[in-house]
Amino acid sequence: MTMRKALFTVGTMVALAACNSGGDSNTSSTSISDTAAATTSQPTTTPPTAPDTAGMSGKSMMGLMQGNMDQMKAMPSTGNPDNDFAGLMKIHHMGAIEMAQLELAQGTDSEIKAMAQKMLDAQQGEVAQLNSFLSGHQAHGGGDAFYKKVMGQMNSMKMDMDHSGSVDKHFVQMMISHHQGAIDMAKAYQETGAHEAQLKTMAGKITTDQQREIQELQGWLAKH
């Protein structure tokens, strides 16, 4: 009797273990399935500074640079230097953003791509500030001396690019010229009727930041 009881007890324990094992397996399967379903149901979001690979197809640095200058030339003067500066610098920054997006989408040099991302983030922030100013500031005269000076600067601007180079090299060469254009515009604004304190501060920051970035870009170019 003792032996039969022992065998019965062992058999019962094995059966229970098998049942419990099957239960755990089902539980795990359900858990993974539920997790997968939950993950699938979550909306995917693209970071705001992610490169627009599809949108950049077929574009070139030189083409973006020329298109940006054409957009600036097409903007009429408001007759107010503050509004003209904000409007022109906004367009100018949008050109830099597009060039940075192209570098991020097609470039291969990690150092230059990191610089492009930094420029993209900084100029998106300044575009938001310029939009805020333009939406709340009515042009109220002051003349078009600044506007005329900027138009003259663009007409005499030289764009040198080694067409046989890489996307990274094209970005560096065009961004040096583009940054110099922003510096010239900022200085022209400060010299020809700047009134708004926040824009004067931004003009000074643009000059300082982009002079530093030009030096960094020139340093990279000298080694490549």
Q: Where residue 11 falls among pLDDT bands split at 50, 70, 90?
A: very low
Contact 81, 194 (CB under 8 A): yes
In this structure, what DSSP letter does residue 165 have?
S
Contact 100, 50 (CB under 8 A): no
C-alpha Rg value of the chain to the nearest Å = 30
Tell me the three state secondary structure of residue 191: helix
* Angle, CA of 116, 85 and 186, to the nearest 5°: 60
> Which are the contacts of 50, defined by CB distance < 8 A and separation ≥ 6?
104
* Angle, CA of 117, 122 and 126, to the nearest 5°: 145
Report the pLDDT value the prediction gives residue 81, as an integer from 0 to 100: 96
Phi, psi of 47 (to 5 degrees): -55, 145
Contact 71, 90 (CB under 8 A): no
Report the pLDDT value the prediction gives residue 57, as an integer from 0 to 100: 64
Q: Is the pLDDT of residue 113 over 50?
A: yes
CA distances from 201 to 182, 204, 217 (A): 14, 5, 24
Is the whole-model pTM more than 0.85? Answer: no
Mean pLDDT of 209-215: 98
50 vs 44: which has the higher pLDDT: 50
In this structure, what DSSP letter does residue 42 have?
S
